[in-house]
Structure 1
């Protein structure tokens, strides 16, 4: 019986990962991709898999997103994504995310609204004083740690809530994600990247714990 080969040790994303995506943004075609697929495998996919493997014991198994775009319903027919993303907790109400692109490294977490019931539970918890104030404290802490808030929002007041609600900006969210953009520091090509992503995901934990408690899984 053969012994499985050990997983590669993560040592950072080489500069070739960023230049790969910078060139892809200019020439997003199947021919270009096939001619540079070895660069993608060596400088993007393999380091990302090694990073995820190093984080799995603490955060769980991750889903590596496909590099191909779904262009069936898009006016933009570019065949390939200009970033490589991965997600821990796909399909759940709380998740951790990491991405590399021409702009560098991004990490964060939160939840996507996969139906109106999830958004309704989220808004009810934001509306309730105790849970709503607890969330605002978590979000304030994340902002202080250089995270930005993302997620689809309505421009008007959500139905059933007052326009002068003290947490109206959060209530406008249908989904809520936080992201820290690191850019492309010199340490991106070193093992320090693992520490930075781990620390970012740990910082997101209180948000994900709040989501797990107050939004929960879909029935």
Structure 2
């Protein structure tokens, strides 16, 4: 895979260890530039490599921290926007990499479209098959769930569990084996993005008002 990405250096983990717990403000100030160089910059290079590999991944954001009081210094996150409220996600911390897909923070019209697609036999069964396959591949499936199916849908609906979702999140933890210190980490992330493609395509097609993936 092209680009400057060469993995996260071992010193990135040493730095994150310094930032565990609730580090003092002076510690955060002293570590700010090192965190940018050792933790955030590799994430930018990784997502740039993803965009080289597939133009569908070009719209990405790698969060930065502008002040010592904002917290979350121990974890670097990034999102690839595929459509409104549909994203691929990458997280890096002391446990290594976690990669996922999410449909979240959706407005009511999107939630209604999601429910209609789940209830419809063709698209609903397709989502069930996608979710079951991801679970077999080691993904956890979560989201914001209602206690019971939404009004207008029977309690014994064959896809009642999916109907209760107001968001859908699929995540897989990749760990921090030796490959995380090399360019091979990009291949690991790209492989997971490929596994998640059926889910994000279903979401973009059935939930998002404008298809972008």
Q: TM-score, normalised by structure 2?
A: 0.87
Q: Which residue number corresponds to residue 26 of structure 2?
A: 31
Pairwise CA distance, 1:23? 3.1
CA deviations over 1:99-146 (Å, ceiling 9, x no partner): 101221011113113311111111110111110000111111111211
Matches within 5 A, 1:1-219: 9-57=4-52, 58=54, 59-67=57-65, 79-81=70-72, 82-89=74-81, 92-217=84-209
Pairwise CA distance, 1:156? 2.4
Question: Structure 1: which 5+ residue stretches go unaligned?
Answer: 1-6, 70-76
CA deviations over 1:127-170 (Å, ceiling 9, x no partner): 11110000111111111211111221112232222221111111
What CA distance in whole angstroms lies between the structure 2 residues aligned with 1:154 and 1:22?
Answer: 38
Question: Which shows bigger deviation, 25-34 or 79-88?
Answer: 25-34
Q: TM-score, normalised by structure 1?
A: 0.85
What CA distance in whole angstroms lies between the structure 2 residues aligned with 1:32 and 1:100?
Answer: 20
SS at match of 2:99: strand
Cα contact 2:40–2:64 (8 A) shared by 1: no
Cα contact 2:59–2:82 (8 A) shared by 1: no
What CA distance in whole angstroms lies between the structure 2 residues aligned with 1:68 and 1:127?
Answer: 44
Question: Which shows bigger deviation, 154-163 or 166-175?
Answer: 154-163
Cα contact 1:18–1:100 (8 A) shared by 2: no
Question: Structure 2: which 5+ residue stretches go unaligned?
Answer: none
SS at match of 1:161: coil
Count of matched residue positions in the alignment of Structure 1 and Structure 2: 205
Cα contact 1:154–1:172 (8 A) shared by 2: yes
What CA distance in whole angstroms lies between the structure 2 residues aligned with 1:115 and 1:137?
Answer: 26
What CA distance in whole angstroms lies between the structure 2 residues aligned with 1:86 and 1:112?
Answer: 15
Flag as ranges the 4+ runs of structure 1 deviating above 3 A. Answer: none
